[in-house]
A and B are shown apart, each in its own frame.
Chain A
Amino acid sequence: MLAEQIVNGLVLGSMYALIALGYTLVFGVLDKLNFAHGDIFMFGGFVGVSVLALGAPLWAGAVAAFVACGVLGLLVELVSFRKFRSHDAQVTAALSSLACSIILIDATQKVWGTEPVALTLATAIRTASITVEGLRVAWVNIGILALTLLLMAALYVLIVRTRMGRNIRAVADSAVAAELLGIDVTRVTQQTFFLASGLAGLAGVMLAVRTGFVTTELGLTFGIKALAVMAIGGMGDLRGAVVGGLLAGLVEAMATQLGLGKFGDMAVWLLMILVLLVRPAGLFGGLRKETRA
């Protein structure tokens, strides 16, 4: 079922892309890796599942996850990035955010337990599908694809057309220059973290609706792959995150199609290593500050 796998790959890839957008936004603004991002994504899934368990509609679960993860992102920024601004502190900030994810995983396990938590949405909604030209596509998949497209378009408009987006771009270009021009860099950083983490939270809800359950391992198994996706596309580049995500999803789906099993997990990382060796700035990244240095 090649066509089916392609659809799977695209849906998987769009979720990777959504998480990778968060990594890349933060990297663009701060030049730092946020290792807690993958687990913020995981947490979003848990928030969504819990809200849905209260009988709330799907959109309420998504909004709750967006806000909860956004606030969590602010917290991570405050604890792990606020003090480590200098270029030399890259590794320190990365490790500090990793400590945040250790705390987050354990706290999640304290509240929801270590077992996977099942989604209480009616199975009819999850399995409903439509058949086009002999190809059966679940509505859930269509919904995920449509929503990610919508979110990406909204993000594009936000970054390119609004004042907030302009500030974000200015800080990404040069935090020093932006500060001199009167932009509140700390506030822009906070906005970026809120946005990035919120998007990850939405991706968490999407994955929960698609697979029907959430586990605390998702950050390390699923979320962290988006880190490779970001590097494939070009760090700090929004188009790169989207293209890299879809590419990674397709490659993984193809590996499954060809029955390569374990190789599927490895494929994304191998792809990333190859891309970084040939084009250190990624597929889309022009020569950024660091590669020039």
Chain B
Amino acid sequence: MIADHIMFTGVNVLLAWSVYVILLSGSVSFANGAFMAIGGYGAGVLTTKFGLPLVAGIPIAALGTAAFGMIIGLPALRTRGIYLILVTTGIAFCVKNAIEAIPYVGGVRGMRGLVGAEPWHVWVVAGVVGLLLWLLSRTPLQRILDAVREDELVARSLGINTVYVKVIAFGTGAALAAVAGGLYAHYMYVINPEHFGILVSVYVVLYVILGGVNNLWGPPLGAAVMTLLPELIRGLQAWRPIVFGVVIVILLLVRPEGLLPFRSPTARAKEARRG
């Protein structure tokens, strides 16, 4: 049981960061559950049908998912705000239904025989991703992303190729979600399309919003709290969904900016303050 919690918290932290990366460029993605599914199924096919080891299967699946994400991202990212939310929600539904219709991966019944992922693997990956994101926040790339997110028109006038930035961010987020999906699948032994429904995508966005979107540490905190919270209210077993829902509503009302609302200053801003 404890191992389960450690595993799922890690997976959700990765997923939260996958949404955060896309959000950095100003896009909201409700399709990350679908990317997780593609990663999980892709890695699963590679390990069970082609006999590849997990360390090879997950990166290949992640690259494939990134390519898929960028191909659909190119037209999809032309839309913004609520329209993008709807398009990505549509993608999530389509991917789930498509997987259910493919007998090769087991259709509705799902796919079995996926083994090899341990909880500590996820946390190693999460650590690396966190380190990379932290390094990113100290590079000019972060400021480019900030510019694209805050005002696309200004960013374009500064010579930034906003389409390129947004598509790359979308692809990176898709790849991260795919890694999380691959690890999740190979921990679960059996996966089916129900594991990657629309609610998964929505919950991940929820983690990020609840944790705080302004800095790197909000999303994982939100993910950890929301994954472990249902366990804390275990005594109220029968009332779990209601309590869970009420907690979300109250948290959003009390802390609309997230649990960690501060904006991490960029390296240059810090220097300016010192000087």
Contact = CB atoms under 8 A, between A and B. Distances in A.
Interface of A: 27, 31-33, 35, 79-80, 83-84, 89-92, 94-96, 98-100, 102-103, 105-107, 110, 220, 224, 227-228, 231, 235, 261-263, 265-266, 269-270, 272-273, 276-277, 280, 290-291
B249 A89 contact: no
A227 B248 CA distance: 23
B94 to A, nearest CB: 5
B252 interface: yes
A266 B86 contact: no
A105 B209 CA distance: 22
B83 A276 contact: yes
Contacts of A98: 202, 206
Interface centre among A80, A89, A276 (most CB of B within 10 A): A276
A280 B97 contact: no
B28 A106 contact: no
Contact of B28 (A83, A91, A105, A270): A91
Contacts of B75: 277
Contact of A95 (B76, B80, B93, B252): B252
B245 A106 contact: yes
Contact of A277 (B76, B198, B256): B76
Interface centre among B79, B90, B205 (most CB of A within 10 A): B90
B55 interface: no
Interface of B: 28, 75-76, 78-83, 85-87, 89-91, 93-94, 97-98, 100-101, 198-199, 202, 205-206, 209, 239-242, 244-246, 248-249, 252-253, 256
A220 B78 CA distance: 27
A221 B85 CA distance: 18
A147 B83 CA distance: 31
A243 to B, nearest CB: 17
A91 B205 contact: yes
Contacts of B85: 33, 90-91, 94
A146 B101 CA distance: 36
Nearest to A231: B86
Contacts of B209: 91-92, 95
7 contacts: A33-B86, A79-B253, A98-B206, A102-B248, A270-B90, A272-B87, A280-B78
B94 A99 contact: no
A265 B97 contact: yes
Nearest to A87: B81
Contacts of A95: 202, 205-206, 209, 248, 252
B97 A266 contact: yes
